[in-house]
């Protein structure tokens, strides 16, 4: 089954020159709780155990992949800072080449639209879409379980994007995915043009100062029924206080919009915030030069 993210797929008889264009969507954490850390004897030692509800949204990067004869991997991007060895597109290609002994090389162009360090999952989505693109390009026919096996070693949100579900309950380090469908939500999203380090937020986070609550089932029910009032009441992000401490503009943006009657929540480890809306409205923005904003909906 061809992924719904694939925009175009052109195959040549010799495989060389075959190319694919695939979308790479962003995400929002409607709920994010931190349950603890993995012990020393765990393969995920150093990571936190999470419980989250993630939504895939209609805001995209674009990835172009072409098969070439030379077995190396050439990566290009409209953001020159992303052309680096730690780029997740590059890591995804290297991993799938190694596991499935793929002899071909690839030319990849990443058109980056999703802000880096915003908590919108751009890097993880890029890795997932790269795997899906190569799977289709080479007709590997990898099962979802095989893709998940690749994804869990690349990043915490990769398996969510591989699930290609509009919503999912996510647990563990982020590798355990329970997809579900729900009513389409609309959002206004603000990014304060600050790249916030996920590692820094998690390292600063203090479990002892966080009250444990689990409203996952209530929120899942609210999303499936389209009960916006109940959805709003159960939005939660355990990392918001920590991220606001590290990045003061997050706190300022929330306070500004709270006075205007709008409730914004941090997504992931930040720095982007989102608000659920029933229809597009004109937001009372003091200035547009200090941050980027856009609308998106469930995808």
Active site residues: 27, 157
Segment (H or E) for 152 = none
Calpha distance 202→34 (Å, rounded): 10
**In terms of DSSP bridges, do strands 167-172 and 105-111 run parallel, antiparallel, or are they unpaired?**
unpaired
Q: Which two tokens stand for residue 155?
A: 């990043």
C-alpha pair distances (Å), 231 with each of 83, 183, 185, 214, 283: 39, 11, 10, 14, 21
Q: Which two tokens stand for residue 236?
A: 């939660």
How far is Cα 189 from Cα 166, in angstroms, rounded to an integer? 18
The total of other beta-carbon atoms located within 10 Å of residue 111's CB is 15
CA atoms within 13 A on the CB side of 240: 22
Q: Name which of 292, 54, 40 is nearest 190 in CA terms.
A: 292
* Nearest to 262, CA basis, from 247, 248, 277, 250: 277
Q: Give 178's strand partners.
A: 169
CA nearest 245: which of 276, 210, 285?
210
């Amino acid at each position: 089954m061809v992924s719904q993210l694939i925009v175009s797929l052109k195959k040549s008889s010799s495989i060389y020159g075959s190319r694919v264009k695939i979308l790479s969507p962003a995400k929002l954490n409607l709920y994010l709780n931190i349950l603890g850390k993995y012990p020393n004897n765990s393969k995920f030692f150093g990571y936190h155990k999470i419980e989250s509800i993630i939504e895939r949204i209609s805001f995209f990067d674009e990835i172009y992949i072409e098969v070439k004869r030379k077995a190396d991997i050439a990566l290009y991007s409209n953001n020159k800072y992303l052309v680096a060895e730690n780029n997740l597109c590059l890591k995804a290609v290297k991993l799938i080449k190694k596991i499935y002994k793929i002899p071909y090389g690839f030319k990849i162009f990443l058109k980056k639209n999703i802000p880096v360090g915003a908590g919108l999952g751009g890097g993880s989505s890029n890795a997932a879409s790269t795997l899906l693109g190569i799977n289709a390009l080479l007709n590997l026919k990898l099962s979802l379980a095989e893709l998940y096996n690749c994804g869990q070693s690349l990043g915490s949100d990769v398996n969510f994007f591989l699930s290609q579900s509009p919503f999912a309950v996510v647990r563990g380090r982020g590798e355990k995915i329970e997809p579900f469908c729900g009513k389409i939500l609309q959002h206004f999203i603000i990014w304060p043009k600050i790249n916030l380090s996920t590692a820094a937020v998690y390292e600063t986070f203090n479990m002892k100062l966080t009250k444990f609550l689990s409203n996952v089932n209530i929120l899942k029910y609210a999303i499936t029924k389209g009960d916006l009032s109940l959805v709003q009441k159960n939005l939660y992000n355990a990392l918001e206080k920590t991220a606001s401490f590290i990045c003061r503009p997050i706190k300022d943006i929330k306070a500004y919009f709270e006075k205007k009657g709008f409730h914004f929540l941090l997504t992931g480890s930040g720095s982007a915030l989102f608000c659920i809306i029933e229809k597009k409205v004109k937001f009372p923005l003091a200035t547009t030069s200090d941050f980027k904003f856009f609308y998106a909906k469930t995808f």
